[in-house]
């Protein structure tokens, strides 16, 4: 994939705008509004599933822009990138193309929590994404501002049930119709920008605010509950004005590990890559923050900001008297700017300059663009189904910051899954869900739709119950096969590759398992292994490979005849051997949760009048949240075990009645039963 030639940007733009002029009145299966991380993954995924897809963005040249930090991945986020890639998404390959500093975080803490991460060249990233979208069949890109979301009046037989019919662009009289619309408006939904004491409408500096019509439709016509969140971005620093000798140098890994399962190497070789620099705040920084508080509107307002990506203001106010880390990151191969990670700030520009100059390495630094804060609306995500469809509006899907999350990877993951389901909805295929037992994407979506958010949601590995099973190394086994066989968002090229990997790994593990030898033979073959006598009598290759200082390479050199064919998987086999006993222990728990998740609750239950014995309190909780499965219902606070039994009884009765007609439908394959299905985990 890395060998692909990018089309020159100029001709690309011409092509797009030409398309736009003559396609604007067509009918599409899926329309994606927004060209950020969620929007681009959504559009690409919908097109991969087979839907005629239109991506509408205010400016075509900002599609794929990195609005904030020039980096991708990290601990938890890297896991998401691997999973997006496993489902044939775009961002992993884009990262491999645009990365200019690759490293694996948490290297010493175990492969389950490794955090693949890269600093990106902003321009290369954008170019890759734009070129990728352009070459995606069934996908059209259109520049324009969405004026209105078109929805039907509610069906009198199903109160509150609207249906999406399309969108209307500003300055266009004719609507564009579609079965599904995905909104990925990021921080643009009623967004306002803050810097010092000035406020202006908008979602990103330099871009026009989005139309008020959209948020009006969501709130007033569809009656969706919204909340307000805030975020911010640091000033960009002129590289030449920084004394980097006063900061700590952090070189990239000597061997770059690509994000994508399709790539064996990254575009930028390790020796060409750029370093990052680490420096620290000083007491002077704290002083400047405290002195300028009265000039800082953003920080005075009590909108919820993230606890884990806070501005420098909230950091020094919450943890005074400490020095905080500041990373100086390259913005691109040829960029003359640095991105000071950890210095997000919203004070007036002159104070920002004073603040950064309190840090020794930046004592003469110049600001290229000042930092600013953004406040924006989000739609409470408990109003969505696990397919990320608005429960009360058929065909309307939401993804990204509009659902209360923060971060590129979180947005991209939701975009991909919303794109898949929007396409399936448009093509009359049943919705698909990812379980929290099989993926971080599943954890993310389940947390959002069943718990909601109170602050911008970011992924951490600690959110995943089955962290040792949901590893970055096995994302392809967990998702690529399912993505092709059940979801339809994976190309057959990638699928074939994953099948080959799965089969080879299975063969290799079987070979290791069949190497059952007595301790004395092991000692003879591999003299360095710390073999204890008390271990079971005939340890297998799997047992031995679990040892801390035994690598697959050493084993393969001791048993070349049966193990050498699998050398390309040596790292994955070692990881598999170490984690397998724990995965086995967890499997029972995983299966239990998956069974719960497979019992769906009809969305139209009238909980308030349901003729079963439920307390008023339980009825109200169920009515408010409308869990989509019994599994989700049990996770709700306030739902008693007794209520679960009654619900189960109800589902069983109605389930039997409802299922009957399906059995006579011969046009529907059995495995297309409109219920979330599970898959067994890679063993």
Partner 1 sequence: MLPSVYHGVWRAAVHTLRTRGTPPCRLLSTAPLADAETIFALSSGHGRCGVAVVRTSGPASATALKHMAGLTRNLPPPRTALLRSITHPQSKEVLDRGLVLWFPAPHSFTGEDCVEFHIHGGPAVITAVLQALGSVAGMRPADAGEFTRRAFQAGKLGLTEVEGLGDLIHAETEAQRRQALRQMSGELGRLYQDWSHRLKRCLAHVEAFIDFSEDELIEDGVLNQVDSSVCDLQAEMERHLKDERRGERLRSGVQVVIAGATNAGKSSLLNTLCQRPAAIVSPIAGTTRDVVETALDIGGFPILLSDTAGLRDSPDLVEREGVRRARERVEQADLTLVVVDCAHLSSDAQQAAAFIQGHLTSVLPTQEQPESVFPTDRFLLVLNKSDLLPEEQKQKLDRELRCVSGLPPVCLISCHTNEGLQDFLTVLHSSVKTLCGDPLSGAPTLTQARHRAHLQQCFAALAQYQRYRDMDMALAAEGVRLALTSLGRITGRVGAEEILDIIFKDFCIGK
Q: Where in 320-339 is the site for partner 1 (CB under 8 A)?
A: 322-325, 327
- At its nearest, how many Å lie between partner 1 and the CB of residue 659? 6
Dist. CA 97–CA 88, nearest whole Å: 15
Dist. CA 50–CA 136, nearest whole Å: 11
CA distances from 461 to 78, 106, 468 (A): 10, 12, 10
Decide whether 525 or 587 has the Cβ nearer to partner 1.
Answer: 587
Please work out, in degrees rounded to the nearest 5, the angle formed at the alpha carbon of residue 439 by the alpha carbons of 81 and 56. Answer: 50
Which residue among 17, 649, 654, 668 contacts partner 1 (CB under 8 A)? 649
Decide whether 110 or 284 has the Cβ nearer to partner 1.
Answer: 110
Site string for partner 1, 532-551 (x = CB under 8 A): ----------------x---
Dist. CA 280–CA 286, nearest whole Å: 12
Dist. CA 472–CA 583, nearest whole Å: 15
- At its nearest, how many Å lie between partner 1 and the CB of residue 316? 9
Decide whether 175 or 275 has the Cβ nearer to partner 1.
Answer: 275
Residue for token digits 């092709």? 484
Which residue among 255, 265, 307, 624 contacts partner 1 (CB under 8 A)? 307
Decide whether 107 or 174 has the Cβ nearer to partner 1.
Answer: 107
Q: What is the dihedral of CA 498, 502, 507, 510, to 10 degrees?
A: 170
Dist. CA 125–CA 12, nearest whole Å: 15
**Which of 265-273, 411-419, 505-513, 668-676 is the region at the interface with partner 1 (rule: CB under 8 A)?**
668-676
Decide whether 296 or 600 has the Cβ nearer to partner 1.
Answer: 600
**Which of 7-15, 303-311, 352-360, 362-370 is the region at the interface with partner 1 (rule: CB under 8 A)?**
303-311
Decide whether 330 or 395 has the Cβ nearer to partner 1.
Answer: 330
Please work out, in degrees rounded to the nearest 5, the angle formed at the alpha carbon of residue 126 by the alpha carbons of 125 and 128. Answer: 65
319 interacts with partner 1 by CB under 8 A: yes
CA distances from 86 to 435, 441, 470, 511 (A): 15, 11, 13, 26
- Binding residues for partner 1, rule CB under 8 A, total 71
Dist. CA 591–CA 107, nearest whole Å: 30
- At its nearest, how many Å lie between partner 1 and the CB of residue 370? 19
Mark out the alpha helices in 247-368 (DSSP H runs).
283-291, 297-300, 312-318, 349-356
> What is the C-alpha R_g of the chain?
26
- At its nearest, how many Å lie between partner 1 and the CB of residue 309? 6
Dist. CA 278–CA 262, nearest whole Å: 32
Decide whether 160 or 581 has the Cβ nearer to partner 1.
Answer: 581
- At its nearest, how many Å lie between partner 1 and the CB of residue 523? 22
Q: What is the dihedral of CA 437, 440, 446, 447, to 10 degrees?
A: 120
Is the CB of residue 344 less than 8 Å from the CB of residue 311? yes
**Which of 133-141, 347-355, 375-383, 670-678 is the region at the interface with partner 1 (rule: CB under 8 A)?**
670-678
Which residue among 47, 75, 288, 355 contacts partner 1 (CB under 8 A)? 75
Dist. CA 649–CA 643, nearest whole Å: 10
640 interacts with partner 1 by CB under 8 A: yes
Tell me which residues in 551-610 interact with partner 1 (CB under 8 A). 578-579, 582, 591-592, 595-596, 598-600
Which residue among 654, 659, 668, 683 contacts partner 1 (CB under 8 A)? 659
Is the CB of residue 363 less than 8 Å from the CB of residue 247? no
Dist. CA 397–CA 415, nearest whole Å: 9
Decide whether 152 or 649 has the Cβ nearer to partner 1.
Answer: 649
Tell me which residues in 335-364 interact with partner 1 (CB under 8 A). 341-342
Site string for partner 1, 90-119 (x = CB under 8 A): ---------------xx-xxxxxx-x----
Decide whether 162 or 458 has the Cβ nearer to partner 1.
Answer: 458
- At its nearest, how many Å lie between partner 1 and the CB of residue 103? 9
Dist. CA 56–CA 33, nearest whole Å: 5
Site string for partner 1, 405-444 (x = CB under 8 A): ----------------------------------------
Nearest 5°: phi and psi at 449? -80, -25
Burial of 385 (0-12, 13-18, 19+ CB in 10 A): middle
Decide whether 64 or 74 has the Cβ nearer to partner 1.
Answer: 74
Nearest 5°: phi and psi at 138? 70, 5
Half-sphere exposure of residue 430: CA atoms within 13 angstroms, side-chain side: 13
Decide whether 74 or 400 has the Cβ nearer to partner 1.
Answer: 74
Is the CB of residue 483 less than 8 Å from the CB of residue 86? yes
Please work out, in degrees rounded to the nearest 5, the angle formed at the alpha carbon of residue 597 by the alpha carbons of 592 and 599. Answer: 105
Tell me which residues in 27-56 interact with partner 1 (CB under 8 A). none
**Which of 187-195, 218-226, 347-355, 643-651 is the region at the interface with partner 1 (rule: CB under 8 A)?**
643-651
**Which of 69-77, 135-143, 163-171, 226-234 is the region at the interface with partner 1 (rule: CB under 8 A)?**
69-77
Decide whether 113 or 426 has the Cβ nearer to partner 1.
Answer: 113
Site string for partner 1, 263-302 (x = CB under 8 A): ----------------------------------------
- At its nearest, how many Å lie between partner 1 and the CB of residue 509? 19
328 token code pair: 């100086």
Which residue among 34, 310, 456, 682 contacts partner 1 (CB under 8 A)? 310
70 interacts with partner 1 by CB under 8 A: no
Round to the nearest angstrom and report the end-to-end CA distance of the chain.
29
Tell me which residues in 444-473 interact with partner 1 (CB under 8 A). 460-463, 465, 467-468
Dist. CA 183–CA 43, nearest whole Å: 11
168 interacts with partner 1 by CB under 8 A: no
366 token code pair: 């110049």
493 interacts with partner 1 by CB under 8 A: no
Tell me which residues in 176-235 interact with partner 1 (CB under 8 A). none
**Which of 43-51, 194-202, 499-507, 666-674 is the region at the interface with partner 1 (rule: CB under 8 A)?**
666-674
Is the CB of residue 111 less than 8 Å from the CB of residue 152? no
- At its nearest, how many Å lie between partner 1 and the CB of residue 345? 12
Dist. CA 601–CA 607, nearest whole Å: 11
683 interacts with partner 1 by CB under 8 A: no
């Amino acid at each position: 994939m890395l060998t692909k030639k990018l089309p020159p940007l100029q001709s690309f733009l011409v092509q797009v705008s030409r398309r736009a002029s003559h396609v604007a009145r067509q009918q599409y299966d899926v329309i994606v509004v927004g060209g950020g991380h969620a929007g681009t993954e959504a559009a690409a995924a919908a097109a991969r599933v087979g839907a005629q897809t239109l991506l509408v963005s205010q400016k075509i040249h900002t599609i794929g822009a990195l609005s904030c930090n020039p980096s991708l991945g990290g601990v938890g986020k890297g896991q998401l990138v691997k999973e997006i890639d496993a489902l044939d998404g775009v961002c992993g390959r884009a990262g491999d193309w645009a990365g200019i500093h690759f490293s694996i975080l948490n290297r010493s803490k175990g492969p389950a929590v490794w955090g693949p991460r890269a600093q990106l060249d902003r321009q290369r990233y954008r170019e890759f994404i734009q070129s990728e979208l352009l070459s995606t069949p069934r996908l059209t890109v259109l520049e324009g501002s969405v004026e209105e979301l078109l929805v039907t009046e509610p069906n009198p037989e199903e109160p509150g049930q609207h249906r999406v019919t399309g969108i209307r662009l500003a300055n266009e009289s004719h609507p564009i119709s579609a079965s599904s619309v995905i909104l990925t408006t990021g921080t643009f939904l009623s967004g306002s920008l803050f810097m010092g004491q000035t406020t202006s409408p908008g979602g990103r500096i330099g871009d026009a605010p989005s139309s008020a019509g959209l948020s009006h439709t969501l709130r007033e016509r569809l009656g969706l509950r919204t909340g307000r969140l805030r975020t911010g971005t640091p000033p960009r620093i002129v590289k030449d004005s920084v004394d980097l000798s006063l900061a700590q140098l952090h070189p990239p890994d000597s061997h770059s590990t690509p994000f994508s399962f399709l790539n064996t190497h990254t575009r930028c070789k390790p020796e060409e890559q750029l370093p990052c620099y680490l420096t620290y705040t000083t007491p002077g920084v704290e002083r400047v923050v405290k002195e300028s508080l009265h000039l800082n509107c953003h920080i005075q307002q009590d909108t919820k900001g993230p606890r884990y990506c806070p501005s420098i203001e909230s950091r020094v106010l919450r943890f005074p008297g400490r020095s905080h880390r500041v990373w100086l990151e390259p913005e691109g191969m040829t960029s003359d700017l640095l991105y000071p990670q950890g210095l997000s700030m919203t004070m007036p520009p002159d104070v920002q300059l004073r603040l950064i100059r309190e840090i020794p390495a930046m004592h003469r630094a110049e600001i290229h663009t000042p930092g600013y804060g953004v406040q924006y609306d989000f739609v409470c995500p408990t109003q969505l189904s696990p397919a990320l469809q608005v429960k009360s509006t058929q065909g309307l899907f939401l993804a990204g910051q509009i659902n209360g999350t923060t971060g590129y990877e979180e947005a991209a993951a939701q975009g991909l899954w919303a794109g898949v389901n929007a396409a399936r909805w448009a093509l009359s295929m049943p919705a698909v869900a990812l379980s929290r037992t099989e993926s971080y994407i599943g954890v993310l979506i389940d947390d959002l739709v069943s718990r909601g958010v109170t602050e911008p949601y970011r992924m951490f590995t600690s959110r995943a119950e089955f962290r040792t099973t949901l590893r970055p190394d096995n994302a392809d086994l967990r998702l690529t096969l399912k993505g092709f066989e059940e979801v339809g968002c994976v190309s057959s090229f990638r699928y074939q590759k994953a099948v080959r990997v799965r089969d080879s790994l299975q063969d290799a593990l079987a070979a290791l398992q069949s190497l059952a030898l007595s301790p004395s033979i092991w000692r003879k073959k591999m003299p360095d292994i710390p073999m204890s006598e008390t271990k079971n009598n005939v340890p297998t290759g799997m047992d031995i490979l679990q040892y801390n200082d035994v690598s697959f390479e050493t084993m393969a050199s001791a048993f070349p005849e049966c193990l050498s064919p699998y050398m390309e998987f040596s790292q994955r086999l070692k990881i598999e051997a170490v984690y397998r006993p724990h995965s086995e222990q967890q499997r029972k728990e995983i299966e239990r949760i998956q069974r719960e998740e497979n019992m769906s609750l009809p969305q139209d239950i009238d909980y308030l009048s349901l003729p079963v014995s439920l307390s008023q309190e339980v009825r109200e909780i169920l009515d408010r949240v409308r869990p989509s499965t019994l599994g989700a219902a049990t996770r709700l606070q306030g739902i008693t075990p007794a209520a679960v039994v009654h619900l189960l009884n109800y589902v069983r009765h109605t389930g039997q009645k409802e299922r009957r007609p399906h059995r006579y439908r011969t046009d529907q394959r059995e495995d297309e039963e409109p219920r979330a299905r599970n898959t067994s985990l890679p063993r």
